Chains A and B, each alone.
Chain A
Amino acid sequence: MSAAFLAVILLSILLALLSKRGHLRQKAEDFFVASGQFSTVLFFFLAVGETYSITTVLGFPGGVYANGTGFITWFLGYILLAFVVGYFLNPLIWRAGRIHGAITLPDLFRRHFDSRALEVVVACTALLFLVPLGMQQFLGLQIILRELDWGISSLMAASLAGLLAFCYIAISGIRASAYVAVLKDILLIAAILLTGLVAMAHWSGDPASQAAMNRAAQPSLNSDMFAITTILLQSVGFCIVPQTCAYIFTARSAAAVRRAQVTMPLYMVMFPFLTAIAYFALGHLPHVSPANDVFPVVAKALLPTPLVGMVLAGAALAALVVLTGVCLAIGPLVARNLVPGLSDNQQRQWSKVVMALYLLLSIAGAATSSQLMVTINNLYYFGMTQFLPGMLGILLLRRLRPSAIIAGILAGDAVAIMLYEFAVPVAGINPGFIGLAVNAAIVFATLHLSPGPERRPVASLSLRAS
């Protein structure tokens, strides 16, 4: 099992080295967004590679196992519709990125609105809500490495994983991330399909069904309202988080983005199989604890040992690829947006320092299971979706003031966080949705009461070749 696992990790390092071929001297834009040269295939693998983290692979069957199928509606619903929204929205974000020469989301806001204050607010908000993602990946990695029985402490295992993630980044930035994502996605989808099919073949049926039904809460108006508002909020929010924007900027053309978006929903074929894995565990392995261990435990129960090693390696790569993606989003937020005036070389060097510090912070957060990190993680989409009115301002609106966007982001964040922290009853509506409504009201009221100077929205520009 360990030999197969290590062979896959070694292969991933070779792929990362291969990604550097032809790009030995990288400028900042090549390191962070591949100079906008990725084809449909590489963009597809990078985007889906970053969508399905180890949290999905472990958390989804774990959630069904522990709580029944109640959460599947909003969880699958928002991912599916995010690809649909992305088909229409992402090519416009790509166009905005090209016009403004953007590497990060705050670059886009700064250059379109010519506002340093807006750049800083967007960068700080993004940083705050991105921080816990790394911790989540290390928590997942600890589960995988525990299943390998290497007899090393979880801190040592997390440190080794952090070092590996940093190596990928240091080799060639986003290019290494994309190449490793290809291996990760092929391996992960194969692992889930294989484990799911074997679980179905061994599934006895009724006991699992009854257990799942017993654990699922009955639908209510509040739960339906939560599902609908969460799907609406997160399906749009998914397209404007800083990592997604960075991947969009790697694409060669708007058509490359669209072609990849068409096929992205099909990758979700993994979810019926993950459900089957959870149902198998409910019927045959009723005492798995913690519930997030369900996937590796079922794989070990059903598959031959070498295959288990490959399954675990696929899950580990899922965490590592997402870690590299988050690091590559966070590095330039600091080195490019918060610290102005750094040269191209300094941006890359400072980013690497920031990424290393971020990995250490995430390892420490995972080791201590910081409650603050858990809370911030729950607020992730509340914070990220507050960029939506500003993004619509870049793409569609003519007279939006940057000060209105700043006020909207801060008010939206404050409302969502207070509603969540004080558990204010709002008929099941997602607090982030209410925050976004307040944010949008401020932005659009300002647009009508005190319009700013005219700027041409990106969607109105004609950039077609003759």
Chain B
Amino acid sequence: MTQLPPYLRYAIGIGIPFLSVIPTVPLLNRLPITFWGVPVGIWWLFACIPLASLCLSICWFGHDRHQPEEHIEADYDGGRS
């Protein structure tokens, strides 16, 4: 399976979630539209919750899942006087 290239991983994982919140939500909050009294910007923010999870899922299944595991033994007492 083809892996996501790094630039696409960052675009999907960080770019889309950030742009969906900033500046989108403050701009939508300026629209005088409400559903059941809740401003449309807040509805959009609620929709961003599954969207963020979807974007991170694409990063995981499209790239990070295929990376080999890191094996590091921690030395918790090292360097303490």
> Which residues of A does B touch, CB under 8 Å?
27-29, 36, 69, 72-73, 76-77, 80-81, 83-85, 87-88, 95, 97-103, 110-111, 203, 205-206, 208-210, 212-213, 216, 219, 224, 227-228, 231-232, 253-255, 258-259, 261-266, 268-269, 271-272, 275, 279, 340-341, 344, 463-466
Residues of chain A within 8 A (CB-CB) of B46 are: 76, 271-272
Is the Cβ of B60 less than 8 Å from the Cβ of A258? yes
Is the Cβ of B36 less than 8 Å from the Cβ of A209? yes
- B4 an interface residue at 8 Å Cβ cutoff? no
Q: Mark B34-59, 1 if CB is under 8 A from A, else 0.
A: 10111101100110111011011101
- B5 an interface residue at 8 Å Cβ cutoff? no
CA distance A266 to B57 in the complex (A): 12
Most A Cβ at <10 Å: residue of B41, B46, B55, B72 = B72
Is the Cβ of B25 less than 8 Å from the Cβ of A77? yes
Residues of chain B within 8 A (CB-CB) of A228 are: 22-23, 26
Is the Cβ of A28 less than 8 Å from the Cβ of B76? yes
Is the Cβ of A84 less than 8 Å from the Cβ of B55? yes
Most A Cβ at <10 Å: residue of B14, B37, B50, B60 = B37
New contact pairs (4) apart from A219-B29, A271-B46, CB-CB < 8 Å: A80-B52, A84-B13, A84-B52, A228-B23
CA distance A465 to B22 in the complex (A): 39
Choose one: B22, B52, B68, B77; the contact of A265 (CB below 8 Å).
B52
Chain A nearest CB from B41 CB (Å) reads 7
Is the Cβ of B60 less than 8 Å from the Cβ of A259? yes
Is the Cβ of A77 less than 8 Å from the Cβ of B21? yes
Closest B residue, CB atoms, query A268: B49
Closest B residue, CB atoms, query A203: B36
Chain B nearest CB from A285 CB (Å) reads 16
CA distance A80 to B50 in the complex (A): 10
Residues of chain A within 8 A (CB-CB) of B55 are: 84
Closest A residue, CB atoms, query B18: A81
CA distance A64 to B76 in the complex (A): 45
Closest 9 CB pairs of A and B: A209-B37, A98-B72, A29-B76, A224-B26, A101-B75, A265-B52, A101-B76, A265-B53, A262-B56
Choose one: A216, A219, A232, A272; the contact of B26 (CB below 8 Å).
A219
CB within 8 Å for A208 and B37 given contacts A77-B21, A463-B72 = yes
Residues of chain B within 8 A (CB-CB) of A36 are: 74
Is the Cβ of B38 less than 8 Å from the Cβ of A275? yes
Is the Cβ of A73 less than 8 Å from the Cβ of B49? no
Closest B residue, CB atoms, query A220: B30
Choose one: B13, B37, B45, B76; the contact of A212 (CB below 8 Å).
B37
CB within 8 Å for A266 and B50 given contacts A84-B18, A95-B72 = yes
Is the Cβ of B26 less than 8 Å from the Cβ of A262? no
